[in-house]
């Protein structure tokens, strides 16, 4: 699963969000594709396990011993990169026109090193990153390389989080292609909304699923409302709103992810956002029946239970066994008693319990609809031991029958 975190411009808090999500999601491979300002690695102490030269393009070179100073090359160069038979390497685009016209075969195109590329091993996993040379270009190719360079570490259980370049240039295109979802971080300003629109246009071209995060949402409530209205109009999912929090500055100054600050309101908001992101991704998978491994995310699965068994009738169950699934493993299991029947209450109750999925034997049509409206995936028709059923769900082999409970003896409680 690949999540790309993007923003229309720099300074929106994108890297703060990436560092925090990487901490919360745990088994994460990080790719710092913000190659013009790579700073994600600063948040982590690590060891470089690989360092290579990256050659991003070619530049023209003149062999002075062959050159007769005819200046034909100067006339043909559309980039003004040749003056007095000397190449300005910053201006040369490596098009090769000068090489073609040179009567002396004095010009050659030489591979130019544009960056050092690293794989850095940290306690929190691998980071793929680069340091570009001053004045170097070819950042799109470099981003593509950084992404390919970590493929060997992907084992189907981890998540790859990309700290994308800001803007809409070729490095952003390289960041967004072949990602499962893009999280666009924006700020509540007019330029933030404009930037958001531009990057959305780009995402649409690549048919990338998009979620929105409004950072420092409380510094301008009018603009936040405008961004939310825009998102609603475009049917875009606002995954999270992060408040202004002085702890973020402390996090940046001390180079510690915001998740290390217990009393941070931004941290809390990002943690809640991650749960909503997971929920959205699971639901989207269900709706679109994509082949992506959407289950490879953290989520809470609620099973309507009678003892250790899946309850046949959701509204009448003894309670709900809650399974916290991190990637593909159950990391915690707890139980909450059924709080009782009130129309429309159980979907809200389970949303409060932070459930992303409800599994039951049978459930009324109205209840199924209410769960979906509350962002909770519904799987019905399950029978057997709850622990086994959850394993089947994680493994992607448990299919919902969609069957509606019409048992008269339950007086419609399965519709609650």
Residues that bind ligand SF4 (CB under 6 A): 60, 62, 67-73, 77, 79, 81-82, 85, 87, 92-98, 102, 104, 106-107
3-state secondary structure 271-326: HHHHHHHHHHHHHHHHHHCCCCCCCCCCEEEEEEEECCEECCCHHHCCEEEEEEEE
- Shortest Å distance, C-beta 141 to ligand SF4: 17
Please name which of 185, 230, 238, 182 lies closest in space to residue 209, comparing C-alpha atoms.
Answer: 182
- Shortest Å distance, C-beta 133 to ligand SF4: 17
Q: How many CB atoms lie within 10 A of CB 309?
A: 20
Which residue, 73 or 303, is less far from ligand SF4 as judged by CB?
Answer: 73
- Shortest Å distance, C-beta 96 to ligand SF4: 5
Which residues, 6 or more positions from 164, have their beta carbon under 8 angstroms from its beta carbon? 4, 5, 6, 7, 14, 33, 34, 171, 172, 175, 176, 182
Which residue, 25 or 81, is less far from ligand SF4 as judged by CB?
Answer: 81
- Shortest Å distance, C-beta 167 to ligand SF4: 24
- CB-CB contact of 192 with 12 (8 Å): yes
- Shortest Å distance, C-beta 91 to ligand SF4: 7
Q: What residue has token string 């949303």?
A: 351
Q: What residue has token string 């491994």?
A: 293
- CB-CB contact of 161 with 40 (8 Å): no
Which residue, 49 or 68, is less far from ligand SF4 as judged by CB?
Answer: 68
Rounded to an integer, what is the distance from CA 385 to the centroid of its chain? Answer: 34
- Shortest Å distance, C-beta 94 to ligand SF4: 5
Question: 266 in the Ramachandran plot: left (φ > 0), alpha (ψ -120 to 50) or beta?
Answer: alpha
Cα separations (Å) of 141 from 6, 57, 138, 249, 382?
18, 9, 6, 33, 48
Which residue, 79 or 335, is less far from ligand SF4 as judged by CB?
Answer: 79
Which residue, 82 or 273, is less far from ligand SF4 as judged by CB?
Answer: 82
Which residue, 19 or 107, is less far from ligand SF4 as judged by CB?
Answer: 107
Q: What residue has token string 């962002």?
A: 375
Which residue, 109 or 336, is less far from ligand SF4 as judged by CB?
Answer: 109
Which residue, 57 or 344, is less far from ligand SF4 as judged by CB?
Answer: 57
Which residue, 103 or 307, is less far from ligand SF4 as judged by CB?
Answer: 103
- Shortest Å distance, C-beta 56 to ligand SF4: 14
| 46: exposed, middle or buried (Cβ count in 10 Å: 0-12, 13-18, 19+) | middle
- Shortest Å distance, C-beta 108 to ligand SF4: 10
- Shortest Å distance, C-beta 78 to ligand SF4: 7
Cα separations (Å) of 319 from 205, 244, 326, 360, 386?
46, 39, 22, 11, 12
- Shortest Å distance, C-beta 328 to ligand SF4: 51
In this structure, the dihedral spanned by the alpha carbons of residues 353, 258, 327 and 235, taken in order and rounded to 10 degrees, is 70
- CB-CB contact of 195 with 14 (8 Å): no
Which residue, 70 or 131, is less far from ligand SF4 as judged by CB?
Answer: 70
């Amino acid at each position: 699963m690949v999540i790309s975190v993007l923003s229309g411009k720099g300074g929106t808090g994108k890297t703060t969000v990436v560092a925090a999500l990487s901490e919360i999601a745990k088994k994460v491979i990080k790719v710092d594709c913000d190659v013009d300002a790579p700073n994600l690695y600063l948040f982590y102490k690590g060891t470089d396990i690989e360092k290579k030269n990256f050659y991003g393009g070619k530049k023209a070179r003149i062999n002075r011993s062959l050159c007769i100073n005819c200046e034909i090359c100067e006339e043909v160069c559309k980039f003004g990169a040749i003056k007095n038979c000397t190449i300005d390497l910053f201006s040369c685009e490596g098009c090769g026109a000068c090489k073609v016209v040179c009567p002396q075969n004095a010009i050659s195109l030489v591979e130019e090193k544009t960056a050092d590329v690293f794989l850095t091993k940290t306690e929190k996993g691998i980071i793929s990153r680069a340091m570009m040379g001053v004045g170097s270009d070819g950042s799109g190719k470099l981003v593509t390389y950084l992404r390919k360079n970590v493929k060997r570490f992907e084992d189907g259980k981890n998540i790859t989080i990309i700290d994308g370049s800001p803007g809409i240039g070729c490095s952003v295109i390289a960041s967004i292609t072949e990602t499962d979802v893009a999280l666009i971080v924006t700020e509540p300003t007019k330029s933030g909304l404009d930037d958001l629109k531009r990057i959305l246009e780009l995402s649409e071209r690549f048919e990338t699923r998009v979620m929105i995060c409004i950072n420092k949402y409380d510094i301008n409530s009018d603009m936040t409302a405008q961004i939310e209205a825009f998102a609603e109009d475009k049917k875009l999912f606002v995954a999270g709103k992060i408040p202004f929090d002085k702890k973020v500055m402390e996090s940046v100054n001390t180079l510690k992810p915001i998740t290390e600050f217990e009393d941070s309101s931004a941290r809390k908001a990002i943690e809640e956002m991650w749960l909503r992101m997971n929920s959205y991704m699971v639901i989207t998978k269900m709706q679109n029946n994509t082949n992506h491994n959407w289950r490879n995310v953290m989520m809470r699965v609620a099973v309507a239970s009678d003892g250790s068994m899946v309850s046949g009738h959701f509204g009448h169950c003894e309670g709900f066994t809650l399974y916290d699934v991190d990637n593909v493993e159950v990391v915690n299991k707890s139980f909450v008693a059924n709080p009782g029947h009130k129309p429309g209450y159980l979907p809200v109750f389970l949303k409060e319990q932070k459930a992303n999925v409800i599994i039951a034997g049978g459930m009324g049509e109205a209840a199924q609809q209410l769960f979906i409206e509350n962002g909770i995936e519904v799987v019905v028709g399950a029978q057997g031991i709850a622990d086994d059923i959850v394993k089947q769900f994680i493994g992607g082999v448990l299919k919902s029958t969609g069957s509606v409970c019409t048992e008269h003896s339950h007086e419609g409680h399965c519709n609650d």
